[in-house]
Structure 1
Amino acid sequence: MSLKDRLTENIKTAMKAKDKIRLETIRSIKKAVMEKEISLRPEGQDTLTEAQELDILAQQAKQRRDSIEQYSNAGRDDLADREAQELVIIEEYLPQQLSEEELSQLIDEIITKVGAKLPKNMGKVMGMAMKQLKGKADGKQVQAMVKAKLGNG
């Protein structure tokens, strides 16, 4: 089942359950998917690839994480809580996130493959890491881990 079909089914389920937050969140994801599809039509592409769908979901999750951080810093816990609830719903559509140990191990492998030893090699490592870990780990978490590993090298 395509992401769009899943979203449509889940919208119906959320409407029946009268789950307002879930309904609004899924609708916002579907809207982003449809906007991306429409923007690609002039290029001759009617449907999104799995990678493009993953990009949209990752972008939606990142927006929620950023909002949670900003609202928390501003003392708006009510808004931060709502964004956190939306993030949980979005993550249901993303691939399983890597654990801290799995992420650390993969970053070590990438650092070895790239031959990075100094903090100035961070760009090479991040480029490969973000391609390989797309949708499986938060970019800020990856960046912090790469920085810690190269900073101590």
Structure 2
Amino acid sequence: MASELKTRINDELKTAMRAKEKARVAVLRLVMAEFKRIEVDERIELDDARVLAVLDKMLKQRRDSITQYEQADRPELAEQEKSESLVIQEFLPQPLTDAELDEIVDKAIAQTGASEMRDMGKIMGLIKPQVQGRADMADVSKRIKASLG
């Protein structure tokens, strides 16, 4: 089944090209190239869930780069990554609030009956599909550790 999200991103790319928005075109081409690479490598057609996972991964890469550039005192490169992040975020669902995230973590812990750190994998497995593209998994991990800790 073809991804509606992927189609939307491709349409946005065409619109950006017509509007001659060079920076936006560059980011969207990068995103589409990553989709194409995965489809060719794995001989599959991406569905919306996988598209979200790819976008989420690309956003995380940008966040990591921003941190590294800021530590290296390279504000111009950090700004570039921030602008790319904004374009990628447009296609991700609305981020979860702290309260919503805490509720999801608490429910998952209750569902799995988890009580110690070794149950972390079970909890993460349950939570990840619910929060894909809507929350930073490192943040989710910290919340689980705090709840179990």
TM-score > 0.5 by shorter chain: yes
CA contact (8 A) 2:96 2:134 kept: yes
Structure 2 partner of 1:134: 132
2:68 counterpart of 1:70: yes
Higher relative contact order (CA 8 A, sep 6+): 2
CA contact (8 A) 2:115 2:148 kept: yes
Counterpart residue type for residue 113 of structure 1: Q
Q: What is the RMSD of the two structures over their aligned residues, measured on CA atoms?
A: 1.7
Q: Distance in 2 between matches of 1:87 and 1:122?
A: 29
**What TM-score comes out, normalization by structure 1 length?**
0.86
Question: 1:122 deviation in Å?
Answer: 2.2
Question: 1:87 deviation in Å?
Answer: 0.9
Structure 1 partner of 2:90: 92
**Which aligned pairs between 1:6-45 and structure 2 lie closer than 5 A?**
6-41=8-43, 45=44
Question: 1:141 deviation in Å?
Answer: 1.1
Counterpart residue type for residue 53 of structure 1: V
Q: Distance in 1 between matches of 2:50 and 2:139?
A: 22
Q: Distance in 1 between matches of 2:71 and 2:120?
A: 28
Question: 1:66 deviation in Å?
Answer: 1.3
- Deviation per residue, 1:84-127 (Å, 9 max, x gap): 11111111111221111100111011111111222333222222
- Once the two structures are overlaid, the 10-residue window that deviates more, 104-113 or 51-60, is 51-60
Structure 1 partner of 2:78: 80
- Deviation per residue, 1:53-103 (Å, 9 max, x gap): 122111111111111121122222211111111111111111221111100
**What TM-score comes out, normalization by structure 2 length?**
0.88
Query: How many residues matched?
Result: 147
Q: Distance in 2 between matches of 1:105 and 1:96?
A: 16
Unmatched 5+ stretches in structure 1: none
